[in-house]
Chains A and B, each alone.
Chain A
């Protein structure tokens, strides 16, 4: 699946940006999850590695000044769950024609994991992109321009997959928008 959520949290544990992908959490679940993750990550020292396992997520995080960038990905320790349920075949919705679909175990084996180092690099790209746009980006920029931060993220990630990695391509629609207004 790839990226499950992107979270920006400051040193006090306040959320500054939260975007979930294909993850249906209720408000309470979300608050609880964010709280747990933040407590876990904030307690770690700078020398420790940037990966924390929590529930069924692996969290790749990186700290920039007072802001933590946390990206939750599937934890391959838990193994990616592949839905091998019953699909209807063809376009017919006849349930009787359902064929039991056995897990494509072999295929799943080889792709069911996320490259943690690439996620780190992605975080850095996100920060650099914001930095190019805001010029010396800081926490306040993100707070007061939350929607812009979201627009950038939207250009970079869709449905948990990275879609664009060129900073000028990411920023083009946003700059166009600013010129227009």
Chain B
């Protein structure tokens, strides 16, 4: 067949249907990275090097489609011309619809051919189906045909059959059960190529059950003399021990003997098998450490020093793939073992210093070698060598090399952070690279590099870069900057300054909880409130398009408007500025009317305006006008607010000022702990209640002497039995409650004509006042008490509450020792449902106990039920045994299993888990797997 191609190439010079471009040629002419250059092994005619003469080259050597057909006519898999016809027809399609039509027609033909049991065409059919499958169309109907081909006697049929099996099937399908027998027969075949085919198929698709059945065959084949069979059997064993780890011990001694081979294919497969054995069993790695370290070092020495071996030579290095594999196994053996590490120190030093780094293959080995040095208990001299290699990589021109250097430095940080700090400037440059992959790596590395001493300059660099960075990079960059600012701020002013900068540069990318934190911080810094509102005002004048900046500004103007106008608490560094009352109102009005403002912002504007009308009596007429314009708003929320606020301004001047008083100081520690999802939330609230200055709460308007007020959270959390507490603090929190009450009450809250209590109006509660109201508190308290039962159940759904008072978090329950995390449905398929519920020890925020409940949704009982879970490495997992392994049908019983996870990066990274469930239904194995991403935050 190869002859056919060559002949047609030489004899026929027809016009080309499509220019034929050899893959390797243009790559040479526009080689992006010189390190990856091809050796001059390929004799390439000069005419192919330049693009202008490439056309001529095509004319010279041009093969037409007809040539291809000549070649294909001799292809045993196309039997006739039809495969070529099909590919040609598909290629000729101009639209996806045309292609679908062609594929449909072909599939119909193949189906009928299959049903007619047409043996002559079955391998051609499979070849076609492979092509159709590659294009992404369903091809399940060809599966049985593959089995038939596998069962036939001839090698060509078997080969295409196995290939089809690997492509069209996967281990979940029941068809696979039927193939076990054919595989068993072929594994015992006398022809080595047929055995090779069977091993290859088994290695790619075998299921746990097949692994158990066929493991003895594979073990036997590991001991044959033919290297081709040996290497495939070794890789097949890898699959088997991954599927059934308890078979590992059987493979240990054959694997060890593989390392003594000379054939590179066998060696590479053997080394990989050993690596996998180490992964699944501690015993195996001890055994290998004792018996194989010496052999591995010798292998590495041999390939390092071997003379030129043309078959395995890549860029002057003998078999880099084997190099890398051996280095990786040595890393596993040397990890945490001083003796082995010492033993392999020398050879690592030799590899690290002798390998040439001007070609990609050499760099790949160096990269692996550095990783190994970092992974074992290496001497300090060796570590210096490794860090130096990384430094060289980092300054390389080639982007690929820089990328892996950044990758590696991230791991090196835990070994020697000082050495990595030395490269800080270079790394910072990489954050500004034009390549997104490099930027992402570098940003993550910078994040790890930040410490108390360099936080300020690094933040400045990053913030400066934020201004000019790509749009699609801003999100990542912003969130990283924000966490650096929050984590490393030592003084409040710096924190506020940086946040205002970030908000005005990339406010649209700032997450809600970040600017909520800013508001909490401002409210906790009485001496910086004036400064904050003024800087926000200035920033707003320059960039009014950034949503979160706008929202923070609105909130601050509402709260601290008079500080803006009267220049309260001017710091020395500030430039003096004059803002009039009407300027402040202008800001709010422009936000309210701006076309791109969303409802949340508009609602915040309305509240801020109401507050200003009390802070700036001269402007209250104007405020009233603005509010009135929204009485007819089509948005229910705005209309309601406008109408209610209007009635406050018109009819209730006497209580307005107390109604819209400044927010009480938001409790910082509660907020932080809630954000971090710490279980200490409530404890800290209690603690801070005693510590808080709680300035506002001392003014007890009702004269009811009560202990110091608790923040809003407590108010909202309080059940009716606790009414005495709210009475003591009612006035201070009335305005907060307004937010709650307003959003919850029905929209009919137009003030009633009679002069009854305003709160009653606002909430329009027609029901009788609760009986447990303290009588001497007066009517306003009655209304207030009424709010509680209404407001409380709904708080979770009210967005505004969250936005305005970061404290009013959703339904954390009073009395509970730790926040209750809701249960989740972790996994659900048509056959199985898994529910997780969570418990936490209050003093250990990192540790979560998960109670998993499994329920069988199908009508058949499951036996041998096994649940497995996998977690990223920053999480530790401990599984307790389940209470049963038998799961009755249709939800009639449950299995429960408890496990404990420890999130070592608690507060920084959320939980994630992959699960795998194996069970048997009427003695057939089933496997389900999935990933759980819906863990409640804060675990």
Contact = CB atoms under 8 A, between A and B. Distances in A.
B26 to A, nearest CB: 5
Interface stretch (B167-175, B383-391, B550-558, B786-794): B167-175
Contacts of A18: 134
Contact of A127 (B23, B279, B360, B914): B23
A105 B873 contact: yes
Given A109-B873, A110-B335, A124-B36, A27 B22 contact: no
Interface string B11-26: 0000000101111111
B25 A65 contact: yes
B135 interface: yes
Interface stretch (B231-239, B508-516, B623-631): B231-239
Contact of A161 (B167, B246, B272): B272
Chain B interface mostly: helix
A166 B312 contact: yes
A59 to B, nearest CB: 10
Given A17-B134, A163-B231, A112 B881 contact: no
A165 B271 CA distance: 14
B335 A107 contact: yes
Contacts of A161: 235, 238, 269, 272
A21 B22 contact: no
Given A50-B400, A127-B24, A103 B360 contact: no
B419 interface: no
A156 B80 CA distance: 30
A85 B879 contact: yes
A24 B320 contact: no
Interface in A90-141: 90-91, 93, 95-96, 98-113, 115-118, 120-122, 124-125, 127-128, 130-131, 134-140
B265 A165 contact: yes
Contacts of A76: 407
A103 B23 contact: no
Contacts of B434: 47-48
Given A96-B881, A116-B400, A154-B163, A159 B204 contact: yes
Interface size class of chain B, counting residues whose CB lies under 8 Å from the partner chain: 35 or more
Contact of A85 (B26, B239, B870): B870
Nearest to B245: A87
A141 to B, nearest CB: 9
B399 A52 contact: no
B577 interface: no
Given A30-B136, A103-B873, A111 B331 contact: yes
B312 A177 contact: no
A121 B916 contact: no
Interface in A123-181: 124-125, 127-128, 130-131, 134-140, 143-147, 150-151, 154, 158-159, 161-169, 173, 176-178, 180-181
A90 B249 CA distance: 10
Contact of A51 (B400, B874, B882): B400
A120 B26 CA distance: 18
B204 A21 contact: yes
B265 A169 contact: yes
B23 A102 contact: no
Contacts of B884: 95
A159 B438 contact: no
Contacts of A91: 246
Interface in B768-797: none
B159 to A, nearest CB: 7
A127 to B, nearest CB: 6
A113 B232 CA distance: 23
A11 B68 CA distance: 22
A36 to B, nearest CB: 13
Nearest to B193: A173
Interface of A: 14-19, 21, 24, 27, 30-31, 34, 44, 46-53, 62-67, 76-91, 93, 95-96, 98-113, 115-118, 120-122, 124-125, 127-128, 130-131, 134-140, 143-147, 150-151, 154, 158-159, 161-169, 173, 176-178, 180-181
Shortest 6 CB-CB distances between A and B: which pairs?
A85-B868, A95-B885, A117-B364, A49-B399, A64-B23, A110-B375
